[in-house]
Amino acid sequence: MKDIFLNLKRIVKNSKVLWSFFILLLFLFVFGKNGVQAKIINNEFVDLTFTIDSKDYLTRSIKKKMDIAPFIENGYTLVPFRTIFEELGYTVRWDDSERSIIAVKMGSQMKLYIDNNVAFVNGEQKVMTVAPKIVSGRTFVPLRFVSENAGANVVWDDAKKAIYITRVGKYETGGVLFYEKGKNNNNTVYVYDGNDFKVIPLNNKSIVNWYSYKGRILLTMFDSTTSKNNFAQYKDGRFEILINDFDIQETFEYNNNLLIHGYDREQKFNKLYRFDGESLTLIENNFYVGKHIEVNGKLLVNKYDNTRNYTLLVFDKNSSNPWTPKVLSDDFIIKDYVIFDNVVYMTGVLETGKDKPLASYNSFGTDKSYFKILLGDTDININDLAVCRNEIYIVKSGKLYKLTNSGLNKVLFEYRKNVYIEYSVTKIIAYKDKLYVAVKGGSYIDSNGKTVKGDYPKISSFVMEYENTASTRVFIKDFTLKEFRIESDILLSLGTIGSSKDSALYIYNGVNDPTFTLDVLSIKNTLSVNNKLFIDVTDKSRITDKQRDTMLIYEGNTIRNLVVDMKTKYWDSVRDSLVFSGYEAGINANKLYSYGYAFNELLGNFDVKYWNKIEDTLFVCGSSPLDKKFEIYKFNNANKIALQDNLEIIKVIKAKGNYYLIYAYDRDNQSPLKGKKILYIYDDSTRDFIEMKVNMEISDMIFMQ
């Protein structure tokens, strides 16, 4: 008896172990990679076609076959019960004792009895016109009764003896529009508002472009019957033309309005409109918009009209008449500009003559006194201008000048009494109230500007830190600058060192001494994330003497390699992390990495095909060249979350709340939808993909509200 008890105890113990192991396997199977339960729901949006006396039927453009065909009895269509219920998303079972069918779906239940017109839907008794029946050993149910009580619409096509069953899933996505280009200009717009899926035939019209603004869709629609572009809005389920024969040339936002600039083909001149989310208002006729700059609540605009006049105007959103501009200049045309401390510095030309003046606009006012011509005719590059401590410095013809009320004054540095140094300058930049000057040689001159002969030290190339002529220091010695740039309040200086001509990158945070690294040839891009500066560069290996692509990281006043010999293809900051992808030539593989608080190799051989950051979420899709299997991942930080296999993303847009719309190819070799384009709702709270439409040729999609 004791032995029996011990054996029983051992069996129970082993059973517990096996049961725990089974639960673990089930968890891993259900939740998959990264603890994600990613599934596709394909029975919320129903699109079925049955044909009388045909075993073939269509579901989401896929042809399927039944054992026995639907038929008509007393004017009502009966179909095999398992086919219709399962296509509508129900789980069915047969109760032999009651000769009844029980169908269940997410808390909804239908119960039907053979040869009985009484059915129960969620416990409520209902009477059917025709009863379920068994024919040739197969159970049939009334198609319309089952479909309509499952929330679907039923349409009878008498000519084709076909029945169309459709159902739209209910998801709080807000309004989304989908544009499908058809053959022979038979284009269509589909509208899903969370409850209904509407179809709007465009009838020989096509969408050129569209914009979503404050819950409204504005668009340019080309009418092939009139060969005109019409400006319209989508409102109350239809397209309403706002302006006939109007070509949009540019849109931009200012003062809580969308500004729309375009050409009116009927009146033969340009117009400027504004849209506040409710109505379209004309700002001004005969208004061609040139360069426009927003600064300190003002909008600076170059206007050109059909009388060939150029005007520089300014709008002020804080004035009593924010949409009535004031004239700053009657003839200045902006070519390029920079902004320092709310002052716009502009190079340009005049309406007449060949002068190329330098001008400024102080954005603290709107009358003409706030606009000034600083230099009447000086052909300078705007990037050769810097403002430091309210002083304007310019590099012109390789010399450093200071702009004063009397004009340009050459900046000279006293070497000794009556002897000055005139530096040859290539670039300047203002950083933390100091001017950094790239010097490339120079000469010694007297007070009259004449070269002084004598045994003077050679002036080498270096970078000078400058406050004024009496307060300077050598910032980087024996250094020929190639490029200055500022990224996230950090100064980068790229160039070559002394006679060795070693390429070098110096980085300065304004606090510590500058740090440097050798063999950096060029900077391709920079990105700052969470107090770390990532620098995508081309450098040179001293071992192979070959150029390569490298990712550097600057952190804690230290420069180090992050990834060597990798050509960066994509990168983005995702909250406090960097996610990036690139090709590593040394191993002939594409990789996906992240860097948050540590460096992570996420995928060792993954070729990214789609990359899109939407707000704080990054969507990445690609495949391995080994098995060609596509995978979709998302990032909200440094960690990847696997969403779905065997889908190749074409486009993703954000909808309302946790919802996104994903348009993708089915790349599953075992799927009947292989190669087809499918539109999904993606629920980020459950990570479910809800299949909306199959085989749609969507050209674009846009979120309305």
* Helix/strand/coil for 18: helix
Q: Provide DSSP, 188-229.
A: EEEEE-SS-EEEEE-SSEEEEEEEEETTEEEEEEEETTTTEE
Cα 682–Cα 688–Cα 693 angle in degrees, nearest 5: 55
Dihedral, CA of residue 421, residue 427, residue 429 and residue 435, to nearest 10: 0
- How does pLDDT run across 280-316, given as a tens digit for each residue? 999 999 999 999 999 999 999 999 999 899 999 999 9
Q: Would you say 409 and 419 are in contact if contact means Cβ atoms under 8 Å apart?
A: no
pLDDT given for residue 38 in this prediction: 63
Check residues 664 and 63 and name the one with the higher pLDDT: 664
Assigned token pair, 61: 């453009």
- How does pLDDT run across 494-547, given as a tens digit for each residue? 999 998 899 999 999 999 999 999 999 999 999 999 999 999 999 999 999 999
Q: Is residue 321 scored above 70 in pLDDT?
A: yes
What is the rounded CA–CA span in Å between residue 647 and residue 654? 18
Q: Is residue 27 scored above 80 in pLDDT?
A: no
Q: Would you say 348 and 357 are in contact if contact means Cβ atoms under 8 Å apart?
A: yes
- How does pLDDT run across 466-501, given as a tens digit for each residue? 998 889 999 999 999 999 999 999 999 999 999 889
- How does pLDDT run across 68-88, given as a tens digit for each residue? 999 999 899 999 999 999 999
Enumerate helices (H) and strands (E) in the chain, giving the number of each. Answer: 3, 64
pLDDT given for residue 203 in this prediction: 83
Q: Would you say 701 and 176 are in contact if contact means Cβ atoms under 8 Å apart?
A: yes
Instruction: Map out the domains of the chain with their CATH numbers.
Output: 41-167 (3.30.457.10), 203-402 (no CATH)
pLDDT band of 24, cuts 50, 70, 90: very low
- How does pLDDT run across 234-269, given as a tens digit for each residue? 988 889 999 999 999 999 999 999 999 999 999 999
pLDDT band of 630, cuts 50, 70, 90: very high
Q: Scan for tokens 């200071």, then name that residue.
A: 402
**Running DSSP on this structure, what letter comes out for residue 120?**
E
Question: Does the predicted model carry a pTM greater than 0.75?
Answer: yes
Q: Is residue 228 scored above 50 in pLDDT?
A: yes
- How does pLDDT run across 123-145, given as a tens digit for each residue? 999 999 999 999 999 999 999 99
What value does the mean pLDDT of the chain take? 91
Q: Is residue 582 scored above 90 in pLDDT?
A: yes
pLDDT given for residue 21 in this prediction: 45
pLDDT given for residue 613 in this prediction: 98
Q: Is residue 9 scored above 50 in pLDDT?
A: no
